[in-house]
Chain A
Amino acid sequence: MVNNENTTWSRHIQLGNKTSECTRLFEFLADSLEQLPVTKEFKHDLKLVSEELLANIINHGYDSHADGAIDIELAVDGSSVRITFTDSARAFNPLERKPPDMLNDLSEGGMGILLVKSLTDDQHYKRDNNHNVFTVTKNYNK
């Protein structure tokens, strides 16, 4: 599947609204990134970022027991990997989350999005046709 002229190739998976879907997410990433000329650390970073974004949608977007789908598209061009998460949960922009309170209470939230911002080169959220669309980009030819 080719979406635009800048995309070399892309892959897609649909996950359910439950944390046990982490396993399928990790398998999808491992398969997709296997042939890319990137380091283990690069792959690990994207795995962590994707896990954080999936958990965000499950915990803050959908109600805990609501059925809901999460579509993930991974697109690769010659210099970067772009991963887009699309869900139909209530509007939720993770970039608006408060940073964690480092001094007093790290058991509260905000750590996930801090990791996402630290480990990717670009993050973008939009609300589009009643869907949350969140895209992260990580460059590998710097």
Chain B
Amino acid sequence: MSLEIEIHAEPHEGKRVSLIGSLDSSTANQLQEKIDHEIDSTVHMLIMDLKRLHFLSSAGLRVIFKTKKYMDSHEGRFMLLNLQPQVRKVFDIIKALDGMNVFKSEEEMDEYLTAMQNKVLDGDA
């Protein structure tokens, strides 16, 4: 099993990290190194897109949690997108989705971002 990682720029000083394949004990370091190299405090929003992630184990979860913790440390937003059922099940067992922004689809995430943007424009946030 292998892991492919694609990182693209997003609006709102954001980046999207798309994971393809398997995030397990043999590939977790690959993601950690990529995150360390490409994500710094100038990134204010990180979307982790799991649409094409077919397998996730605890080694991979640890990298995801560390990344969220890093984003929290500089008040960046961290969002999980498109969790597939078998991946969602892992998060559910660990009860790890509390306090996370999780979106089932691009549309749902866009609605959230638009609402956040409107709040900023209205001076509420």
Q: Which residues of A contact B (CB under 8 A)?
A: 19-23, 26, 41, 44, 47-48, 51-52, 54-55, 58-59, 100, 102, 106-108, 111-112, 114-115, 118-119
- Main SS at interface, chain A: helix
Report the number of A-B residue pairs with Cβ-Cβ less than 8 Å.
62
Q: Which residues of B contact A (CB under 8 A)?
A: 1, 24-26, 55, 57-59, 61-62, 65-66, 69, 86, 90, 93-96
Of the residues A51, A107, A112, contact of B66 by C-beta under 8 Å: A107
B86 touches A115 (CB 8 A): no
Which 6 pairs across A and B sit closest by C-beta, in order of nearness?
A: A111-B58, A55-B25, A112-B58, A19-B26, A22-B26, A106-B65
Q: Which residues of A contact B57 (CB under 8 A)?
A: 48, 51-52, 55, 112, 115
- A sample of 15 more A-B contacts (CB under 8 A), given A51-B25, A114-B93, is A19-B25, A22-B24, A22-B26, A23-B26, A48-B90, A51-B57, A55-B24, A55-B59, A106-B61, A106-B65, A107-B69, A111-B94, A112-B59, A115-B58, A118-B93
A-B contact pairs, 25 of them (CB 8 A): A19-B24, A19-B25, A19-B26, A21-B26, A22-B1, A22-B26, A23-B26, A26-B1, A44-B55, A48-B90, A51-B57, A52-B57, A54-B25, A55-B24, A59-B25, A100-B94, A102-B94, A102-B96, A107-B62, A108-B62, A111-B58, A112-B59, A115-B58, A118-B93, A119-B93
Q: Which residue of B lies closest to A112 (CB)?
A: B58
Q: Which residues of A contact B59 (CB under 8 A)?
A: 55, 112
